[in-house]
Amino acid sequence: MTLYSKIIGTGSYLPPRRVTNDDLAAQLAEQGIETSDEWIVSRSGISARHYAEADVKSSDLALQAARRALDMAGMDANDIDLIVVATSTPDNLGGFPSTACALQRKLGITNGCAAMDVQAVCSGFVYAVSVADSFIKSGAYRKVLIVGAEVFSRILDFKDRTTCVLFGDGAGAVVLAASKEPGILSAKLHADGSYADILCVPGSANGGTLAGSAFLYMDGPAVFKLAVSVLEKVATEALEMAGMKSSEVDWLIPHQANIRIMQSTAKKLGLPMERMVVTVDQHGNTSAASIPLALDQAVRDGRVKPGQNVLMEGVGGGFTWGAVLARM
């Protein structure tokens, strides 16, 4: 019998503090930096984002999203046999113990299930789904909790209006389970380290101090150009792997980074804008959390229905990019 993996539960969580463009503009004005709602919306499509409080970690956001996904799946946390957390803002410097292990503890899981983090920045969720899908199809695991969780507000330079207006905090989760019916139809991943410098956090720990900058750096035009180029290609690859055409896609859920990149991808795939899930306007760019956040919102408001084909794709620092085609 052929074994498949299928999404059986989704969940998401946004920290309570909502920051509108006007709120952010007022904050930046205190530092002598000018921006406006019109300036931000025209360049990104973002109107608001959420910020976590200072004592809240990625695993705290992940916990809330995970609980909601488990509840939808009708599962207890101890039913999970693998946890994969995609994050670029782990709980601890150096990334260990992993945020996945922190989430395991907070969920009260005592079954000794495997837990690991995946680092592919904004492509992290797509990478994590691909990893979990492979494990399930191999027979190694049967019920996997996948979470994208970020507190990007911690690495933003609020003196740089070109980046600080773009990002927000949040978490999204799915439960992926072994199934007799096709769920994950295809997955395609890529990376090109020669583009590492156009989107990065260049600092590092050295002798107990910080060497370099701990703030996010982005060459906006270079990232935009590369993202537009690779997203359509990897989406087409994923469709070809599944023997499908773009016309058979019910919903496109791209990484929520910039509305212009998202619209360009949909247009190149020949998909109408009304078949693309958009949350970037209210969430900003939540990196690895953006795709599962958007998926959960569309599932819960009834847009994404069982049996529909959903194409998810992301691009992020590394440079990494990938796409997953799923039948819900």
Residue in this structure with the two tokens 């005592």, named with its chain if needed: 110
Q: Is 285 a catalytic residue?
A: yes
Structure tokens at 114: 């495997």
Prediction pTM value: 0.97
Structure tokens at 70: 């488990």
CATH T-level topology, domain 4-181: Peroxisomal Thiolase; Chain A, domain 1 (3.40.47)
Predicted pLDDT at 2: 86
Q: Please give the share of the chain, as a percent, with pLDDT higher than 90.
A: 96
Pick the catalytic residue: 101, 113, 258, 285? 285
b/e burial code for range 94-116 (CB count within 10 A of at least 16 → b): eeebbbbbbbbebbebeeebbbe
Structure confidence by residue, pLDDT tens digits, 201-247: 999 989 989 899 999 999 999 999 999 999 999 999 999 999 999 99
Pick the catalytic residue: 21, 50, 164, 255? 255
Q: Which residue type sits at 126?
A: V
Average pLDDT taken over every residue of the chain: 97
CA atoms of 144 and 74, how far apart (whole Å): 14
Taking the domains of the chain in order of start, what are their residue ranges? 4-181, 185-327
Q: Is 200 a catalytic residue?
A: no
CATH number for the segment(s) 185-327 = 3.40.47.10
Structure confidence by residue, pLDDT tens digits, 267-315: 999 999 999 999 999 999 999 999 999 999 999 999 999 999 999 999 9
**Run of H or E residues at 39:** helix 37-44
Q: Is 122 a catalytic residue?
A: yes
